[in-house]
């Protein structure tokens, strides 16, 4: 099955504990909305690892996350600079959502 890279952003002023709590809530919501851990979103991640890395721009931060993340593994979080300060960027490789089966009568 394929994979897609998903990200979410939080303000850089968010504490590390709050980043972890927020991500956990996002996972819970994903699992409940999609009725399965194999739903194609952050609910499939085995957790979150907050790093101490800080990047000057989002593009570089995202490139780092894309290269370091593994499907079915933990999501990773880094910070990147913005014109207003910093943001957290969380990213993970997630399995593609399962496609609906094709019904012969619909063809």
Q: Where are the domains of the chain?
A: 3-98
* pLDDT number for residue 90: 97
- pTM across the whole model: 0.85
Beta bridge partners of 88: 10, 79
Q: Per-residue confidence at 99, pLDDT binned at 50, 70, 90?
A: low
Taking the C-alpha atoms of residue 23 and residue 46, their distance in angstroms, rounded to an integer, is 11
Q: Per-residue confidence at 71, pLDDT binned at 50, 70, 90?
A: confident
Q: What are phi and psi of 18, to 5 degrees?
A: -70, -35
> Which one, of 91, 51, 94, lies nearest residue 72 by Cα?
94
Strands (DSSP E) found in 15-84: 48-55, 75-82
pLDDT in tens, 10-67: 999 999 999 999 999 999 888 888 766 566 788 888 899 999 999 999 999 999 999 9
């Amino acid at each position: 099955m394929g994979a897609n890279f998903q990200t979410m952003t939080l303000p850089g002023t968010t504490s590390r504990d709050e980043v972890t709590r927020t991500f956990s809530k996002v996972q819970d919501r994903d699992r409940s909305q999609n009725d399965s851990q194999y739903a194609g979103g952050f609910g499939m991640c085995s957790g979150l690892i907050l790093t101490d890395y800080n990047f000057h721009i989002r593009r570089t931060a995202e490139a780092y996350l894309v290269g370091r993340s593994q499907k079915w593994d933990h999501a990773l979080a880094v910070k990147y600079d913005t014109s207003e300060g910093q943001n957290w960027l969380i990213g993970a490789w997630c399995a593609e959502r399962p496609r609906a089966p094709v019904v012969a009568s619909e063809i």
